[in-house]
Amino acid sequence: MTASPNEHTIKIDQTDPAETGTTTLSVRTLKLSDFRNYASARLDLDARPVVLVGDNGSGKTNLLEAVSLLGPGHGLRGRPYAELARKDGQGGFAIAANVRTRHGELDIGTGFAQRVGEDGTGRTVRIAGKDSSAGALGDYVKQVFLIPAMDGLFTGGGSDRRRFLDRLVVAIAPGLRTSLSRYERAMRQRNRLFQMREYGKSLFEGLEEQMAEAGIAIAAARSTRWSGSPRSSTSGAKPKAKPLSPTRCWRCMGRSRPTLRAVATEAEDAFRILLEEGRERDRAASRTLEGPHRSDLLVVHGPKNAPAAICSSGEQKALLLGLVLAKAELIKTMEGIAPLVLLDEVAAHLDGVRREALFAEILRLKVQAWMTGTDKELFSPLAQSAQILDVNRGIISP
Ligand SMILES: Nc1ncnc2c1ncn2[C@@H]1O[C@H](COP(=O)(O)OP(=O)(O)OP(=O)(O)O)[C@@H](O)[C@H]1O
Ligand SMILES: [Mg+2]
C-alpha cells in the first residue's frame, strides 16, 4: 500500500456487478410546495429513470434540486435554504416524498420556514412520520450527482478536485468525514501557533501527532477503500463502459511527494517527522505546506493516455460521468442499493456514441437516474425504458 498523505493510485473497473440482493432506490411520489418556481407540484413515478424535458428556465434543475434534498446536505446547488423558498410564497418551502428504499417504502418530508429572529440555516426533516435530522437521511437515501457547475473540475483549482474526490470516498467510507475535520482542526491550531511569538515545542508535537494520525487515515480512505473494493483490477475488460468511462486509473498526488511506503503507523511517524522538519518552512509561509490538504486528483483518459485537463469538453464530461457512475456502482456493490443518480444537462454535451453508452450504463446499473435536457430527441433511445416528462413553467406533464 502507498501510505503517503499525498499520493494514491485508485483503480476501478466496470465489469458487471452481481445483481443479487440489490434494491433500486426510487422516488415514487414527489410533492413540492413553494419550492423555487413551483407553487405546488406532484409527480407519481415508478422505478425507471426519469427524463425532464423543457425550455430554459422551465424548472428542470429545480426538480433535481428538490430530489437531492431527500438526502443529507444542502442539495445539489449547495444554496442557502432561504433561496429555495418561492419568491412570491410565504417564505418557506416543503418537499414530501415516498421513496422505495432497501427497508421498504418510506415517507420523507423536509422543509424550511424562516421565522422572525431565526437565522434560517436549518431545515426540518421527518422520516416515516418522526422528527429527524438531515444527516439521518443519509442512512436511507444514497445519491450521486453531476451538474454543469462541475464542468471545469479538471481545469480549475485543486481544492475543488479534492472535494470531489472526498465526496466520492465519503459515500463508501463515511469515517473520512471525521478524519477530515480532525485534521483540519489540528492544522488550524498549528497554523495559529505560527502567529504567536512564543510557543512551547510540546504544543506543536501534540498537534502534529493528531495531524499525522488523521492525515494517514485520510490518505488510506482516499486510496485503499477504492482499490480494495472487490472488483478492482487494472486488467479487467470493460467493453460496455469503454466509450463513456475511459478512466482506468486516477492518480491523486501532491506537489511534493514524500515516499512513505509503509504500514499505517510507520507512515504516521514519517508524516509526523515531515511536519516537524517543515516547521520553519511552514512558519515562513504562515501555513502548512505538506499533507493531504494539498493532494490533487489527477484523472487520466485511459485510451488516449492523456490528463483530463487537456481533453476536449465532451471528453471531460464523459470522464466526469464515468467517475460519478463508478461511484454509483460502488455504492450498489458495497451497500446493496442502487443510488439515485441526478444528471443535470449531460446528454447535450455528448456525441451519439457516448450518449448511447450513458443510457446503456444507466439501464445496466438499474438506477433511477434523473436527467434533464431541452431537446427531447436526444432521449429517444429511452422512449420505452424511462419516464419522460415535459416541464413547462413549473407545470409537469407526461
Ligand atoms: N426562489 C425562487 N422563486 C421563484 N422562482 C425561482 C426561484 N429560484 C429560481 N427560480 C426560477 O426558476 C426557474 C427555473 O429554474 P431552473 O434552474 O429549474 O431552470 P431549468 O429548467 O433547469 O433551465 P435551464 O434549461 O436553463 O437549465 C428560473 O426561471 C429561475 O429564475
Ligand atoms: Mg437547468
3-state SS of 195-251?
A: CCCCCCHHHHHHHHHHHHHHHHHHHHHHHHHHHCCCCCCCCCCCCCCCCCCCEEEEE
The per-type count for the chain, helices as H runs and strands as E runs, is 9, 18
Across 373-377, average pLDDT: 95
Ligand 2 centroid to 101 CA: how many Å?
27
How sure is the predictor about 116, in pLDDT bands with cuts at 50, 70 and 90?
low
Which residue intervals of the chain bear CATH 3.40.50.300? 24-150+336-397
Looking at every residue in the chain, the average pLDDT score rounds to 83
Would you say the CB of residue 89 lies under 6 angstroms from ligand 1?
Answer: no
**Average pLDDT in the 306-310 region?**
89
Q: What percent of the chain has pLDDT over 70?
A: 83
CATH number of this structure's domain 24-150+336-397: 3.40.50.300
Question: Which residue, judged by its Cα, is nearest atom 2 of ligand 1?
Answer: 36
* Beta strands 26-35; 92-101: pairing state: antiparallel
| Mean pLDDT of all residues in 92-99 | 97
The residue-averaged pLDDT of 63-88 equals 94
Mean pLDDT of 66-79: 94
Please state, in angstroms and rounded to a whole number, the distance separating the CA atoms of residues 168 and 172.
8
Residue of the nearest CA to atom 25 in ligand 1? 56
Find out whether the beta carbon of 61 lies less than 6 Å from any atom of ligand 1.
Answer: yes
CA distance 253 to 261: 14
Residue carrying the nine cell digits 454543469? 148
80 lines ligand 1 (CB under 6 A): no
Residue 143 DSSP SS3: strand
Higher pLDDT, 240 or 23: 23
From 38, 53, 61, 68, the mutation candidate for ligand 1 (largest count of ligand atoms within 8 A of CB) is 61
Percent of the chain with pLDDT over 90: 56
Å from CA of 345 to ligand 2 middle: 7
pLDDT, mean of residues 314-320: 90
